[in-house]
């Protein structure tokens, strides 16, 4: 059951690491550099939205197995609402701040830990809900999205370096 907690922690680290904030890479008046910065930010926004959608999909599956009258159902509903708000945000820094706020708001919430009084399910039932095939598929898709992001950022980084070298040679 706890094997999905690392996914949430990795997601948090990705949000912090993904932001292209090195001003030395993007402080040029060069239109090529500005376009590369725009591409890097767009890729980061796409990754964050993928993260949020993956979590919405995951927790929607969990929520579907819960009684709507339980505390966990309500907690998950609020979490999903906050994630949807983060997806709607277009500006990267604001999106990052929303994610930080969501993480702070829910870091002490046991969304993945069963308390029968809060879920209405036994430990075995909740474990089955948390580890179902659909949930594993969602996690797999997210890992693929992360790999795609790092590939795209590697290509953009190579273009930044190549453009920087070309500018120095001029």
Each of the 170 residues of the chain gets a pLDDT tens digit; together they read 344 444 444 555 555 444 554 545 445 677 877 888 888 888 888 888 988 998 899 899 999 999 999 999 999 999 999 999 999 999 888 988 998 888 888 877 788 889 999 999 999 999 888 888 887 888 788 888 888 888 888 888 877 777 777 766 66
Question: What's the pLDDT score for residue 5?
Answer: 44
Judge whether 149 lies within some domain: yes
Judge whether 61 lies within some domain: yes
d(CA 102, CA 14): 15
Judge whether 139 lies within some domain: yes
Q: How many domains does the chain have?
A: 1
Question: What's the pLDDT score for residue 86?
Answer: 94
Judge whether 92 lies within some domain: yes
**Overall pTM > 0.95:** no
Judge whether 27 lies within some domain: no
Range of the domain at 71: 38-162
Which is nearest to 159 in space by CA: 46, 34, 47, 14? 34
């Amino acid at each position: 059951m706890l094997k999905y907690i690392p996914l949430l922690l990795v997601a948090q680290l990705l949000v912090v690491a993904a932001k292209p904030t090195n001003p030395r890479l993007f402080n040029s008046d060069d239109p090529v550099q500005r376009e590369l910065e725009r591409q890097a930010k767009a890729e980061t926004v796409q990754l964050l939205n993928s993260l949020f959608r993956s979590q919405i999909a995951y927790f929607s599956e969990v929520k579907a197995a819960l009684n709507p009258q339980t505390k966990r159902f309500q907690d998950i509903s609020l979490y999903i609402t906050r994630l949807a708000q983060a997806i709607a945000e277009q500006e990267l820094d604001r999106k990052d701040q929303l994610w930080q706020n969501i993480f702070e708001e829910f870091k002490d919430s046991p969304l993945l830990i069963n308390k029968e009084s809060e879920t209405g399910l036994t430990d075995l039932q909740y474990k089955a809900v948390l580890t179902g095939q659909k949930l594993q598929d969602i996690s797999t898709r997210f890992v693929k999205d992360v790999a795609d992001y790092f590939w795209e950022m590697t290509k953009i980084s190579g273009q930044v370096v190549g453009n920087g070298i070309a500018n120095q040679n001029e």
